[in-house]
Structure 1
Amino acid sequence: MIRPLIGLLGLLAALFPDRMVDIFESLAIENPEECTTTSWIDSGIRVEGIVVTAASLLGGRAYAWMMNLTGAFGAVILLFPRLYQKIATGLLYEHSADVEWNDRFTDSVRFIGALYLLLAIRSFRKRRNSN
């Protein structure tokens, strides 16, 4: 059930990367109108969406690899949300000093990290039990 949902989210990211950035910024950044994203961000989100959609459709090793990567990423952002914010700021924005993160977003990042980690563990257990 979760695989089609993840695939759908990937498809939405591939089709509407600018909208994904708008949603992210409205939740995470205090001053999105003052921040300029890097020129490659829409292309990067689009590629990520295509990869997620393809892995979800293919299943098997592609999906397992993606879920393992998701779990590792989730563990990092669960344990080190400020580090995630620092890295994201440098990657996503032209002038990282201009970005003012929403204070509530740190707790949201931890929740997202926990969710990613739980999804990866669930996927791993499902694969292990089917063998």
Structure 2
Amino acid sequence: MIRKLLVAFGVVELIAPGPIIDVCERIGLENPETAKLRPRANLLARLEGAAFVWVLVRGRDRSPAVSVLLVAAGVLAAVYPDPLIRVSQSFAYENTSELELRPWVKPAARLLGTLYLLVVVLSESGSAPDRPTE
């Protein structure tokens, strides 16, 4: 069930990242109205959605590079989220120095890292056609 929800989330993020970015801005920024998104912000969100779908549908064994990337980002975000927050903000926004983060951004980034790890764990039951059934 959770796996299917994550696949659905990935598909939505892949197709229409704007509303998801808007929600994240309202949740994470004290001043979301001042945020100036770069055009490539949608690309970053789409890549995240594509990674979720790719790993969850194909399985971890058939997606080793994407799985390793999600694990590395997940561990970094869960343990030490500051670099991930800085990099994602500088990639997504033109005016990072003007943005005021809410106090729960670090815990939210840690949760996002945990979500990345969960995606990889759940991907083991990916529906790859050449997997034997037990």
Q: Is the pair's TM-score, using the shorter chain for normalization, greater than 0.5? A: yes
The Cα shift of 1:55 comes to 4.3
Residues 1:96 and 2:96 are matched in the alignment: yes
**Percent identical residues:** 25
The Cα shift of 1:81 comes to 1.3
Taking structure 2 as the reference length, the TM-score comes to 0.75
Residue by residue, what CA displacement relative to the aligned partner does 1:5-43 show, whole Å, maximum 9, x if unpaired?
Answer: 322111111222110110111111111101101112224
2:75 matched to which residue of 1? 75
1:86 matched to which residue of 2? 86
Q: What pairs with 1:2-17 in structure 2 (closer than 5 Å)?
A: 2-17=2-17
The Cα shift of 1:92 comes to 0.8
Equivalent position SS for 1:61: coil
Residues 1:32 and 2:20 are matched in the alignment: no
Q: Structure 2 regions of 5+ residues with no counterpart? A: 127-132
**Conserved 8 A contact 1:71-1:118:** no
**Conserved 8 A contact 2:18-2:42:** yes
C-alpha distance in structure 1 between counterparts of 2:47 and 2:85, whole Å: 21
Q: Structure 1 regions of 5+ residues with no counterpart? A: none
Task: Tell me how many residue pairs correspond in the alignment.
Answer: 126
**Conserved 8 A contact 2:56-2:122:** no
CA-atom RMSD in angstroms: 2.7
Equivalent position SS for 2:23: helix
Name the aligned partner's letter for residue 111 of structure 1: L
